[in-house]
Amino acid sequence: MNYTCHSGGCPGADMEWEREGEKYGVKTISYSFRNHVQEGKTPKILTVDELAEGWFHVLLAEKTLKKNVESLDSPYMRNLLCRNWFQVKNSDAVFAIIKKFLTKDTVDGGTGWAVQMAVDCDKPVFVFLQDISGGAWLRYMPVVGFESLYGEIPKLTENFAGIGTRDINEYGNNAIRRIYHETFTVSYNEKMKGSGFRKLSLYESIRKDK
């Protein structure tokens, strides 16, 4: 099975997804545009028509996020938002490292746009909230909003969007390392199933890795 990570090639979470994925043979496609500064090894330069397609989904996400994108005068900033759509469009599910929520249903910052686009087209969305004690994975549930996975670590899909904050911290980095490990190797917890050992929480797992 060949896995592909759809990302943005920006410093922080994007590049951590790419670097860690290389260890498992995961190809990363970094969606970009003319004159965009990014660090990904395999950029996909979007055309004018593709960016226009992305803008449609930016406007759709804006209705929920309640942000006035029409006030953005910079074509560069608009294109940054537009490229998010292709991370979502080409993925089976979205996995994002985030700093905070706007509401119980929405994510703050640039990552929030990609997350909302995924929600708008009913794709599975998992977020790792790094700025709480130890960090935690949550999944978006329609009507309910984001719900905790209570220490469970989700598994990556074959075509996934690996995205997130530029300001990734130790817990965010650890979350990316562990989700790759859980997806591509037989985890310690699976080996010990039925042995009387309980499943480690995410926080305990991070502490154990130190």
pLDDT tens column, 95-106: 999 999 999 899
Q: How far apart are CA 35 and CA 27, in angstroms?
A: 23
Q: Does 49 score more than 60 pLDDT?
A: yes
Q: How far apart are CA 120 and CA 109, in angstroms?
A: 17
Q: What are phi and psi of 152, to 5 degrees?
A: -70, 150
What's the confidence (pLDDT) of residue 120?
A: 97
Write the Ramachandran bin of 80: left for phi over 0, alpha for psi from -120 to 50, otherwise beta. Answer: alpha
What's the confidence (pLDDT) of residue 200?
A: 38
Predicted model pTM: 0.86
What is the SS3 assignment for 153? coil
Q: How far apart are CA 101 and CA 196, in angstroms?
A: 37
pLDDT in tens, 154-174: 999 999 999 999 999 999 999
**What is the percent of the chain where pLDDT is above 90?**
80
Q: How far apart are CA 49 and CA 72, in angstroms?
A: 19
Residue with tokens 């562990």: 178
Q: Does 197 score more than 60 pLDDT?
A: no
Q: How far apart are CA 42 and CA 29, in angstroms?
A: 5
Q: How far apart are CA 25 and CA 9, in angstroms?
A: 17
Mean of all residue pLDDT scores within the chain: 89
Q: Which two tokens stand for residue 191?
A: 């080996």
73 — pLDDT class (breaks 50, 70, 90): confident
Rounded to an integer, the average pLDDT of 129-134 is 87
190 — pLDDT class (breaks 50, 70, 90): low
Q: How far apart are CA 192 and CA 210, in angstroms?
A: 21
What's the confidence (pLDDT) of residue 132?
A: 79
131 — pLDDT class (breaks 50, 70, 90): confident
Kindly give the pairing relationship between strand 93-98 and strand 125-129: parallel
Q: Does 207 score more than 60 pLDDT?
A: no
186 — pLDDT class (breaks 50, 70, 90): low
